[in-house]
Amino acid sequence: MALNSRITQSPVILLLGAGASVPLGKPVMEQFVRGLVEQIEYIENPALLLSLVSARGYDLEKIMEDLETFLALDYISSFAFHGEPTYEASRSDAENLRSYIRHSIIREYRNIDANKAINVYQPLLDEIFLHLDSANHCLPIFTTNYDLAIESFCELKYSQYVLVDGMQVSSATVIPHSESRGNSPLFPQGAVSYCRVLGPSFFL
């Protein structure tokens, strides 16, 4: 069966929201942005971040969207915030802040305690696969998180799950894992723009 069909015909889809990372010791979005503000002395031009937080609250997606929008407008060299106080930011300010936030995201979320991931996800996935025929269906997983907890989980449980993400899939054919749960994969997709699937083949 084609990979896309396996995903769309799966009777179960798992959505992992921000709270799924909390048991792994990772901050939710508001906590992450608050952390940026608390470390403001490390930012080259902190006024831009403070202005964005004042306008957008602790919504990281909106803050990044504002930066991307400004940088996409090639004909604009600066833009002004009319809050208190009024502040004018240059393209360089926006580029530096975007880069700083991106690197902060990587530093915060790239390392996952794999044993914690097993403790969190093993009971959940065991319960799901009690009711899911893994010989015929994969488990699509959609996540809004930046961390790679599911990947870390699968690396340690490779004899049970085969992980395939959307960046690695180059064929519509799923190759079964002889020792995994059936021959279906697990696929997730979310903030990092890729898909994970889990099954006897586990696609993420």
pTM for the whole structure: 0.71
Q: State residue 19 phi and psi, 5-degree precision.
A: -65, -20
Which 8-state DSSP code applies to residue 38?
H
Least confident of 26-40, 41-55, 77-91, 174-188: 174-188
**Reported confidence tier of residue 77, pLDDT bands at 50, 70, 90:** confident
User: Looking at per-residue confidence, does 173 or 199 come out higher?
Assistant: 199
Residue 20 has pLDDT above 50, yes or no: yes
The position carrying tokens 């990947």 is: 151
Q: CA-CA distances (angstroms) from residue 3 to 134, 167, 172?
A: 14, 13, 5
Mean pLDDT in the chain? 76
The reported pLDDT for the residue numbered 8 is 78
Residue listed under structure tokens 């792994």 = 24
pLDDT at 32: 95
The Cα–Cα gap between 29 and 86 comes to 26
Q: Are strands 186-187 and 139-143 parallel, antiparallel or unpaired?
A: parallel
